[in-house]
Chain A
Amino acid sequence: MLKKLHSQKKTQLVLGLVMGICFGFLLQKGGVAKYDVIMGQLLLKDFTVVKIMLSAIVVGMVGIYLMKAIGMVELHPKSGSIGMTVVGGLIFGIGFALLGYCPGTISAAVGQGNLDALFGGLTGILIGSGIFAHFYPRLEKFLKVGWFGEITIPEYLKVNHWVVIIPVCLLIIFLLYTIESIGL
């Protein structure tokens, strides 16, 4: 691992900015900075969002697990619980459909000039995050209900990760192929 590079704080801030520029460029070129495309996905009429996400997962997953095998990277899976992931996921979805952007794509929407994203959505996300931070001490107990932690699918199944990666990749490719062949 490039531990020395990881510990250089200023270099990391620059790297964050540069990689963010790449991400924003890709999101805008993919069309997913647009409300119409994101809502098209949630209305099941335009599958651009799913196509981008699934192909990112396949390419990213294979590369990251290969680099992990030679000790170049370490994983950072997020922890979860029923109280946290299920309830939070459902709340997120409601906001996602009302807003028509998510935290990443709204930043790209601001960059391409969407004023509803800048004045409405961005302000809203900041307020929402602040509300959550305020009530966090009272929610802490609930968020731990049904705790399962940072576990990954291969760890849960107690199998080598390639036993999961290969079928997941094949399943995703099959899904994308199906989406294309029914003309979505």
Chain B
Amino acid sequence: MEFFTLKIWSPYLVGAGIGVLSWFTFLLSNKPIGCSTAFARTSGMLEQLITGKSVTKKAYYKKFPAVIDWEWMFVAGIIIGAFLSAILSGDFSLRLVPSLWMARFSLSFLPRFFVALSGGIILGIGARWAGGCTSGHGISGTMQLAISSWLAVILFFISGVLTAQFIYYGLGG
């Protein structure tokens, strides 16, 4: 049991664990691991809730209906699983701003909130545009040797690395 209360596991063990987990998602559920489509479905559900109008006529939600499916439950599970892991190791705490961000920008919550919000919007558009994210393309697609996924994940990182360098070193101060 001590193993489960550790704060950190070897990245190779975690990676191998994710690999084995994906055997089971394919075998038992006929699904690759993926996350971003669940966000699109949730977005559709919220739009229906807020506007009171059904989104079933929108072309995108014809392709990806705004309903709870396997992947939606999977993403809900991620929150629970991470919570369990963090509670077991004493790593759980409510944090407003990540420490690396604080060390570089030493700002309060609001600026971080707005950057996270705008980053999230761009990420959401990008994930839908590319048809997947770091898990759907980056892990599941690459392990199936899909050309789209290898291309996508390489571009995620090229663009991510360049943007990160610009934010952390390119901006003065």
Contact = CB atoms under 8 A, between A and B. Distances in A.
B25 A19 contact: yes
Contact of B72 (A16, A18, A54, A80): A16
Nearest to B19: A59
A51 B118 CA distance: 28
Contacts of A129: 36, 39-40, 42-43, 124-125, 127-128
Interface residues of A, number: 124
B143 A64 contact: yes
Contacts of A24: 77-85
Nearest to A39: B100
Interface string B135-165: 1111111111111111111111111111111
A70 B64 CA distance: 31
Range of interface residues on B (Cβ < 8 Å)? 35 or more
- A interface majority secondary structure: helix
B82 A103 contact: no
Contacts of B21: 19, 22-23, 26
Interface of B: 6, 8-9, 11-12, 14-33, 35-36, 38-40, 42-44, 46-47, 55, 58-61, 68-86, 89, 91-101, 109, 112-165, 167-168
Interface of A: 1-2, 5-6, 12-36, 39-40, 42-44, 48, 51-61, 63-64, 67, 72-80, 84-100, 102-117, 119-134, 136-137, 139-140, 143, 148, 150-154, 156, 161, 164-165, 168, 176
